Amino acid sequence: MTTPILHVSNLTVKCNEHEILYNVSFDAQEHETIAVIGPNGAGKTTLFRALLGLIPYEGTITWRPDLKIGYVPQKLYIGSDLPLTTEEFFTLKEKNRKEIDRVLSAVRLNTDRSSFQTRIMRQKLGLLSGGELQKVLIAWALVGHPDVLLFDEPTSGIDISVEGTIYSLLHRLQEEEKLTVILISHELQIVYRYATNVICLNKKTVCSGPPKDVMDKESLQKLFGTDVGFYQHRA
């Protein structure tokens, strides 16, 4: 069996002795897509913060050496008066125009319609639409050819008509860029369609494994505490 790209063992996170996560363990293999699902307050974002080394924790988190990790946050509140254009935002991280063009092309913001790309790049970040901003953040995360991408609720705060496009984009990027993807999502139908493995989280691991094996009615009721079913995603 190949060495996992990420190994998490007995992960526990506490705040003032209150356990936010308890004894969570899982492995992530190269090029797979892992979805983390669970109710509000289950500790999903806390898990990501621990994986990124942003908070103290107990247990073990071991990334494969020399990995590059990209991260797209759940929400990024940007005021409309922030004097920072999309182009200036990218140059904070990358000066090479070819690399910027590469990631824009990857998320389909670098199109033959030069006026469209020019508008996006010259626009203030705070004036972009929800879907445009999300694509910009994904492109930003792709700068430098990361090995792993972490997505916290990829479609949070954007129109439902854009949701399917974002998930299709993530799936295509996972294949084209040979990425390992770990995402938090509430879109159970999309998780079932795209994820290779799922972690059902409610402070501790309720279930884990391939979606077709663990995302049954009984497990979902245990996880969410209510009658949960899939709905048809029409995007």
Among 1, 52, 3, 45, residue whose Cα is nearest residue 20: 45
Confidence of residue 37 (pLDDT cuts 50, 70, 90): very high
Place of tokens 């501790």: 204
Cβ contact 80:124 at 8 Å: yes
CA distance 192 to 198: 9
Query: What pLDDT shows up at residue 163?
Result: 62
Cβ contact 8:61 at 8 Å: yes
Instruction: Give the chain's mean pLDDT.
Output: 86
Q: What are phi and psi of 82, to 5 degrees?
A: -65, 120
Query: What pLDDT shows up at residue 175?
Result: 87
Query: What pLDDT shows up at residue 235?
Result: 40
Supply 161's token pair: 């008509």
Query: What pLDDT shows up at residue 234?
Result: 41
% of residues, the chain, pLDDT over 70: 87
Instruction: Mean pLDDT check: name the lowest of 78-92, 97-111, 168-182.
Output: 97-111
The pTM of the full predicted model, rounded to 2 decimals, is 0.85
List all residues 6 or more positions away from 70 whose beta carbon is below 8 Å from its beta carbon: 141, 142, 143, 144, 146, 148, 149, 150
Confidence of residue 117 (pLDDT cuts 50, 70, 90): low
Instruction: State the span(s) of the chain assigned CATH 3.40.50.300.
Output: 1-67+147-155+163-235
Confidence of residue 74 (pLDDT cuts 50, 70, 90): confident
Query: What pLDDT shows up at residue 79?
Result: 83
**Which of these CATH numbers, 3.20.190.10, 3.40.50.300, 2.30.110.10, 3.30.420.40, describes 1-67+147-155+163-235?**
3.40.50.300
DSSP state of 64: P
53: region left, alpha or beta (phi > 0 left; psi from -120 to 50 alpha): left
CA distance 55 to 183: 19
Q: What is the mean pLDDT of residues 108-133?
A: 77
* Greater pLDDT, 218 or 181: 181
* Greater pLDDT, 27 or 105: 27
pLDDT at 232 over 60: no
130-141 tens-digit pLDDT: 888 888 998 999
Cα end-to-end span (Å), the chain: 37
CA distance 197 to 208: 7
pLDDT at 73 over 70: yes
* CA-angle at 148, arms to 144 and 186, nearest 5°: 125
Q: How far is CA 172 from CA 1, 175, 188, in A?
A: 26, 5, 19
Q: How many residues belong to the chain?
A: 235
